[in-house]
Chains A and B, each alone.
Chain A
Amino acid sequence: MARIELKSLAHRYDSSRKGKSGFSIEDLNIAWEDGTANALLGPSGCGKTTLLNIISGLITPTSGSVLFDDAIVNDRPTRDRHIAQVFQFPVVYDTMTVFDNLAFPLRNQKNGEIEIESRVAEIMELLELTPLAKTKAGHLNPAEKQIVSLGRGIVRKDTVAVLLDEPLTVIDPILKLDLRRKLRQVQQELKLTMIYVTHDQHEALTFADHVTIVRDGSIVQSATPEELFLRPKTPFVGYFIGSPGMNTLRCESTIDGFKIVGSSLAIANRAGNLSGVLDLGIRPEFVVTSPEEMPGWNRLKIRAIEHAGAYQVLTLESGALEIKARVGDDTATSEGDFVWVDFPSDKTNLYVDGELAIL
């Protein structure tokens, strides 16, 4: 396995291409450390798959370099890059058995049959495929096929990285959990460098130690799931990650804090007198509510309650302002009631001109 880096990468599709949602990658820099689980997260058509294809060499970037362990590999053809890929639709050799599928890349490298057998047995054991060794791959269910194609990728010892492109799309929900567990387990045990592309934040945050959010060909934020959750770099990330998303409140700077636009709400904060467009971001779970009046807190009306089982989501309003708050499942509430609300300053993020401000 290796460390993979993209340096000042740019890629533009030629203008003759018909697609409406044309995007281009401009000056992109990113590194994935050796032996880590990573995710590229973004809506479809944001350039994620293009990035994967640039890494595996199926697409040549317009400019910039691709580095494996600090060596530039731009001119290396796909088959010499030793990248394993798992695609959205499972790719197996239908007419071969599971064993032969896994042995295929090794046989192509002209390894000895005894050596092949022991290596394949090892991988099958790890992936829990041993009972299926003699089954024709065409007879497997999609989840098993996906595991076989992962196995084919990691059976070679010279594999540099495993790239996964929306690998769970066609998998039955019941089997998804098992597949996620296996992916995670194999990644940890073999210390694989994995890059997992998805539009599903649930999959990205579950799978990866490090998540990169891509939008329109550029990186919005690259961080651990916890960081993405606690310190989203833009209001978009705050809204996209988490359910319900982060509340973003447009505000004005005052002498002793902020005043929220469109309401009489004021927030005391030591950072005053800032210029630029100001937004306060606070996650619904960090909004503190009380049925009784509290000094310095703001009074809001409960407009709607959604019960989600483990918790309730309150939609609170004051004037044109709407705020979501998450409270426990046993908190007694009813629509039309008033509550007092506080935004703890350590859980509040401040955005100046759409970017997280470090205070």
Chain B
Amino acid sequence: MRQRPWLFLLPTLILMSISAFIPLMAVINYSLHTIFAGSAPEFVGLQNYADVMSDAQFRGALIRQLTFSLMALLIEIPLGVAIALCLPRKGSGVGLSLVLLGVPLLIPYNVVGIVWRLFTQSDIGVIPRILSLVGYDYNVSLNATDAFFTILLVDVWHWTPLVVLLAYAGLQAIPQTFYQAAEVDGASTWKTFRYVTLPKLRPVLTLGLLIRFMDSFKVYSEPLLLTGGGPGNATTFMSLFVARKAEAYELGYAGASSIIYLYVVIVMSYILFQFINRSSEERHR
């Protein structure tokens, strides 16, 4: 009788091991071998890892990735909160604005890539056209900075709505009494935001931060479809980098870099996760 919970969990555990554990094992296995088409894999120990770590291209991709994710978070979280604060709290407009805001979230990645590719194309795109009006010569396929910030813009456009929805739900959960009390205490708008809204939003914002960090770290289809990782390596982020290596059939190298990549994601997420736990513990004390 006492083993019953395990019995119910078993199918999930089996599925999870098939979907996550076995592929992971395969990748680790690859990362320990040198593999060439047609010949038997040769065991090389940690050589692939050493190669990856000393590869300037890999380090470049990692630094680019971290810069990208950091900038995405710095823009999306405050922007999302700001938009959520502007939304009406109740009334007939609420449902409609939430749906409209959520639209980008519903569009598949590849469609997003293609749509934005059209927007940014140097001959027919809307964005180059507008920017040329203010005298800026925008070219996503030639200018590395343009390319990088375009991908960032797409990410912000695509994912800020998620932060808005989270922040909006968080705002709705703050009891009105806190605002009444702040009013009675004669607090200014800024002080009310600083001492009531922000502390109360902290748990949901840390959650948003975590989700957005993990997601932006895996950005793949947007650079692939928009810029193809270029110009040069300007938009070759981690996923793209690893995929390129695998496509080139450097499976050992690709395996080792994916494992390092995975490790970085886990460590960063763990740090954020600790942060969330601490803030929720504080709330429950």
Give me the interface of A with B, judged by CB distance under 8 Å. 56, 58, 78-79, 83-85, 87-89, 91, 93-96, 104-105, 108-109, 136, 138-139, 149, 152-153
Contacts and interface: CB of A to CB of B under 8 A. Distances in A.
Scoring B178, B186, B196, B282 by chain A CB atoms within 10 A of each residue's CB, the highest score goes to B186
B285 A85 contact: no
Interface string B157-194: 00000000000000000010110110111111001000
Contact of A108 (B177, B185, B196, B200): B185
Given A56-B180, A93-B196, A94-B282, 14 more contacts: A78-B184, A79-B186, A83-B184, A85-B180, A85-B184, A91-B178, A93-B195, A95-B199, A104-B187, A104-B195, A105-B185, A109-B186, A138-B282, A139-B282
B184 A84 contact: yes
Contacts of A138: 199, 282-283, 285
Given A85-B180, A91-B178, A108 B285 contact: no
30 contacts: A56-B184, A78-B183, A79-B184, A79-B186, A83-B184, A85-B180, A85-B181, A87-B177, A87-B180, A88-B177, A89-B175, A89-B177, A91-B175, A91-B178, A91-B181, A94-B200, A94-B283, A104-B185, A104-B195, A108-B186, A108-B188, A109-B186, A136-B282, A138-B199, A138-B282, A139-B285, A149-B181, A152-B181, A152-B185, A153-B184
B17 to A, nearest CB: 41
A99 B187 CA distance: 16
A58 B180 CA distance: 8
Nearest to A93: B195
B232 to A, nearest CB: 46
A91 B177 contact: yes
A284 B199 CA distance: 54
Interface in B211-266: none
B186 A105 contact: yes
Nearest to A78: B183
B197 to A, nearest CB: 11
Q: Chain B, interface size: which category?
A: 10 to 19
Contacts of A56: 180, 184
Q: Is the interface of A mostly helix, strand, loop or mixed?
A: mixed
Contact of B181 (A87, A108, A109): A87
Nearest to B184: A85
Contacts of A89: 175, 177
Contacts of B181: 85, 87, 91, 149, 152
A357 to B, nearest CB: 44
Contacts of A94: 199-200, 282-283
A111 B157 CA distance: 46
Per CB-CB distance, the 4 closest pairs between chain A and chain B, nearest first, are A108-B186, A105-B185, A87-B177, A91-B181
Nearest to B200: A94
A102 B180 CA distance: 16
A94 to B, nearest CB: 5
Interface in B265-281: none
B173 to A, nearest CB: 12
A139 B186 CA distance: 24
Contacts of A83: 184
B88 to A, nearest CB: 18
Contacts of A85: 177, 180-181, 184
Contacts of A139: 282, 285
Contacts of B285: 138-139
B206 to A, nearest CB: 14
A152 B177 CA distance: 14
Contacts of A108: 185-188, 191
B158 to A, nearest CB: 32
Contacts of A87: 175, 177, 180-181
A56 B179 CA distance: 13
A83 B191 CA distance: 20
Contacts of B186: 79, 105, 108-109
A93 B184 CA distance: 13
Contacts of A136: 282
Scoring B178, B184, B191 by chain A CB atoms within 10 A of each residue's CB, the highest score goes to B184
Contacts of B185: 104-105, 108, 152
A96 B285 CA distance: 15
Nearest to B285: A139
A89 B283 CA distance: 14
Contacts of A91: 175, 177-178, 181
Contacts of A78: 180, 183-184
B183 A79 contact: yes
Scoring B177, B178, B196, B285 by chain A CB atoms within 10 A of each residue's CB, the highest score goes to B177
A129 B197 CA distance: 26
Interface in B38-94: none
A152 B181 CA distance: 9
